[in-house]
Amino acid sequence: MSRFSLFLPPFAGDYSGVCSVLFDVDCLVVILDAGCCTRNYAEYDEPRWERKRKATFSAQIRTMDAIMGDEEGIIAEVLEAASALEPSCIAVVGTPVPAIVGTDVAGLAAEIEERSGIATLGFPTNGFDTYEKGVSKALSALAKRFAARVDSHAVQPCVNLLGSTPLDDAGFAQVAFVERELAARGVACAFSGAGRYGLADIAQMASASASVAVSWGGLAAARHLERAFGVPCVAGLPLTTRQLDAVAALAKDASARGLSGVSAAPCEAGVSDQGADEAPCVLLVGDQVMMNAVRALLHERAKALSEDGSVRGAGVAVASFFSMDRKLSASRDFALREDGDLLEYARRNPEVLIVGDPLLGELLSACENDFAPLVHPAVSSTLWADAAVPSDAAAWEAWADGVLARLTR
Amino acid sequence: MVRATAGRVRLVAELAYHVSTGARKKAMLRIPESHSLYLCPNSCARRYGIRAFKSGLAGKVSFLRFSQADVAAGSYEQRIEEAIGRVLDLVKPTPRAITLYVNCIDDFLGTDDVALLDSLARRFPSTKFVLSRVNPIAADIKRNDSKAQGIHSRLYDLLDEPATHDAGLTLLGCFESIIGLGEFSDIARDAGLHPLRDLPSCATFSDYQDLARSSYAVSLSFLGDAALRRFEERFGMRGLIWPATYDLDEIERMYERFGALVGKAIDCAPYRARAEESVRRAVDAVGARPVIVDSSSSMRPFTLACNLADMGFNVAAVMALHVKGEDARAAKDLSALHPEIVVVKREGYEALQGYAQALGDTSEAIAIGVDATTLLCARRSVDMYHDEGHFGFQGVELLMEKLTRAAVGEVA
């Protein structure tokens, strides 16, 4: 059902999620739009656009193109561009009009691949859905199409960090921190989304010791790699020393044992029903997987601090305007349809401290709830591009301690 | 296959690289004391949502994000009425008017906007409604009543017939007010025209209604031309189409026509003299350095290129990537009179490969407009967007100052 937003802006669209994943992949991206969808993506959802020129183009379709279903012009343009730019692969990305007129995006991609000889992915994104579904589609497509089975897995432990894009992590500060910390623990990164990737690099996804889905958008690809190649996966951005140690141990264990029998989920604490018997005192609003990691962090810090009795409880719920995975949901977690849902929750639960994008803080400004900001670019674009976001274990712990201290007041 | 050409309809899809104007604060032209409601898929209105926050309009813009299911079932029209009910319940003070915006997909859904507006008027009788289409997809079939003209014109649809007219002058077709800028305001005041009015300057719904009280109207760009015709028909105003130009003779002729319109003799010689002096200084400063004009800088980039070439600048190229206004005649004149000036009409993969083949070495060129500046990685550039803030002799002076500063390496 359609969603009404009185205050919040529309969120980053699914095609932005696809394009964001493909930004640093050697891929010619063609957005099947009239021009505005490309503008939405480039100007509002892609902070890298200002710094680097990327082969992402608008097809500039017009009414007659759409009505007549004449795709020959688009194909000819793509072939000409592919001939000039020689990309490793091509992606055709759908938007609302192709979705409405029923454009066969996969068929169009197949036709381009047939005629160009270049691997071409078709994404039937529609602009009705939000970014995380596009991230998921793009990562899954890359994993399914290009990740290659190898005889033996990596000798050196390495991980895939799946689902990191500037729509969740504006400057890749989080993923850079995780990469750095894992490297210090002797674990390399096979794929993270932050950096330049050719198809050979993407093939290496299948050889990783483990996958970490750092956002909801990384779950499907991580699960595919687990099913297809036996790469164990966990969900959650490791934020604390304990979580980082657990991911490193998993990767090393999998690497040493050839993956067989490895099963671990170091961030599962965030999904547990710890504190479920008491009303939540904190509501985390954002990407489900990311917020589960924050919940685990809060639990960990509450436990550490509670030994001296300085906190009153650890009831933390997660809510999201975006997709949620039932397996990763605790009993008090819930989905938000529109901004009115959050307002209603806040008014009914004025004692709950709410964590989320700063725009949510503005939405809730007339409510009594305490609010702690955590920038989510898929909501607020670049409005808080300069805001400080915790980007190492010490900063996250300090942030969590600050939130917990506010609960005690 | 027909490629994009200035003033002609493009017949096939053509890949285009997007040059970001993200750093530029974009004005959101709107009716004061109104509320805007975007009716479209989630992604389509994202830029308007973020811009609203950047422009201090948060809370004055809402969104009904259609689901595919509602679109497929046709129930989205019912959702529109529900959403308007919620806006009127929740937004305080209650908006005087609601502007509805639909996007590209509506061209394929075929919403009956007349029936919709009738229905809304019956259900919400104390609120005025207007519906605008933001549909760049229709650029191929609506060239003569383009989307921009449509959106701009509809902003004036809620004006009532005034009881009386005054000696005012209403300016149309601009996103930034030129009132108080340069000689035009002084000349208009001296000619007895008072007050000068335009939509960007309106603070209240009453100010907005006063736009219809003027006796005269001037359209400053093609965006305002359709509105001007409506003002003439609906309110009996006397109007003049006066798009930005940088030709000093043409500006003088336009002042003569303006004087004839208002029945006054206008002496603009002092202003022209200052502008001529600024041209001399800029031509000296820029010298033989190449100048490249793009279609983001001016609604009529070919006209601007011709004007600059006639002044004595070494115009090397026109990057006519998105020509908004009617500029076909100047394009023809340019190719006839200045065949040495290269015309670039594509921004496809060339945006990544560079334009060296077409333009040669542009490292010392002055780029006028963000497209040329970005695509050529120009070190010397003139910041100018769709002529906004440039009008009459003042516009020439301002552009010449910017060119002079760019010649010495300042971002102007």
Confidence class of residue A68 from pLDDT cuts 50, 70 and 90?
confident
ipTM of predicted complex: 0.93
In the sheet where A334-335 sits, what is the strand order? Answer: A334-335, A316-320, A282-285, A353-356, A371-373
pLDDT above 90 covers a percentage of chain A that reads 72
- C-alpha R_g of chain A: 22
pLDDT of residue B316: 96
Pick the residue with more confidence: B233 or A311? B233
Q: How near does any CA of chain A get to the CA of B14, in Å? A: 6
Question: Residue B289, exposed/middle/buried by CB under 10 A (0-12, 13-18, 19+)?
Answer: middle
DSSP B74-108: TTHHHHHHHHHHHHHHHSSSPPSEEEEEEETTHHH
Sort out which chain B residues have CB atoms less than 8 A from A103's CB and list them: none
Q: Is the peptide bond before B41 cis (omega within 30 degrees of 0)?
A: no
Neighbours of B58 (CB within 10 A): 16
pLDDT of residue A260: 44
pLDDT of residue A302: 87
State whether the Cα torsion B352-B357-B358-B362 is positive or negative: positive
Test B50 with A383 for CB contact under 8 angstroms: yes
Q: How near does any CA of chain A get to the CA of B402, in Å? A: 24
Q: Taking CB atoms and an 8 Å cut-off, how many pairs form between chains A and B?
A: 226
> Which phi and psi (to 5°) does residue A138 adopt?
-70, -45
Q: Which amino acid is at A97?
A: V
Task: Report how far residue B219's alpha carbon sits from residue B212's, in angstroms, rounded to the nearest whole number.
Answer: 14
Q: What is the per-residue burial (b if ≥16 Cβ within 10 Å, else e) of B5-24?
A: ebbeebbbbbbbbbbebbee
Instruction: Select the residue of A6, A14, A55 nearest B62 (Cβ to Cβ).
Output: A6
Question: Is residue A273 scored above 50 in pLDDT?
Answer: no
Sort out which chain B residues have CB atoms less than 8 A from A64's CB and list them: 11, 140-141
pLDDT by residue (tens digit) across B166-218?
A: 999 999 999 999 998 889 999 999 999 999 999 999 999 999 999 999 999 99
Instruction: Select the residue of B71, B141, B352 nearest A63 (Cβ to Cβ).
Output: B141
Question: Residue A145, exposed/middle/buried by CB under 10 A (0-12, 13-18, 19+)?
Answer: middle
Which of B46, B78, B100, B103 is best to mutate for the A interface (most A CBs within 10 A)?
A: B46
Question: Residue B195, exposed/middle/buried by CB under 10 A (0-12, 13-18, 19+)?
Answer: middle
Confidence class of residue A313 from pLDDT cuts 50, 70 and 90?
low
Task: Report how far residue B177's alpha carbon sits from residue B179's, in angstroms, rounded to the nearest whole number.
Answer: 5
Decide if A111 contacts A78 (C-beta within 8 A).
no
Q: Where are the beta strands (DSSP E) in B51-168?
A: 61-66, 97-103, 128-134
Task: Report how far residue B243's alpha carbon sits from residue B64's, in angstroms, rounded to the nearest whole number.
Answer: 36
Test A101 with B108 for CB contact under 8 angstroms: yes
Instruction: Select the residue of A4, A66, A96 nearest B86 (Cβ to Cβ).
Output: A4
Q: How near does any CA of chain B get to the CA of A117, in Å? A: 19
Q: How near does any CA of chain A get to the CA of B60, in Å? A: 8
In the sheet where B169-172 sits, what is the strand order? Answer: B196-198, B169-172, B216-219, B238-241
Task: Report how far residue A360's alpha carbon sits from residue B359's, in angstroms, rounded to the nearest whole number.
Answer: 49
Q: How near does any CA of chain A get to the CA of B92, in Å? A: 12
Test A100 with B54 for CB contact under 8 angstroms: no
Instruction: Select the residue of A2, A70, A74 nearest B64 (Cβ to Cβ).
Output: A2
Test B87 with A6 for CB contact under 8 angstroms: yes
Question: Is residue A270 scored above 70 in pLDDT?
Answer: no
pLDDT in tens for each of the 412 residues of chain B? 333 333 333 444 589 999 987 677 777 899 999 999 999 999 999 999 999 999 999 999 999 999 999 888 888 888 999 999 999 999 999 999 999 999 988 888 888 889 999 999 999 999 999 999 887 887 766 654 545 567 888 999 999 999 999 999 999 999 999 998 889 999 999 999 999 999 999 999 999 999 999 999 999 999 999 999 999 999 999 999 999 999 999 999 999 999 999 999 999 999 999 999 999 999 999 999 999 999 999 999 999 999 999 999 999 999 998 877 789 999 999 999 999 999 998 888 888 888 888 888 999 999 999 999 999 999 999 999 999 999 999 999 999 999 999 998 866 5
Closest residue in B to A70 (Cα) is B12
Q: How near does any CA of chain B get to the CA of A63, in Å? A: 5
Q: Are strands B16-17 and A56-58 parallel, antiparallel or unpaired?
A: antiparallel
Instruction: Select the residue of A63, A77, A128 nearest B137 (Cβ to Cβ).
Output: A63
Question: Distance of CA B279 to CAs B245, B273, B307, B398, Å?
Answer: 14, 10, 11, 10
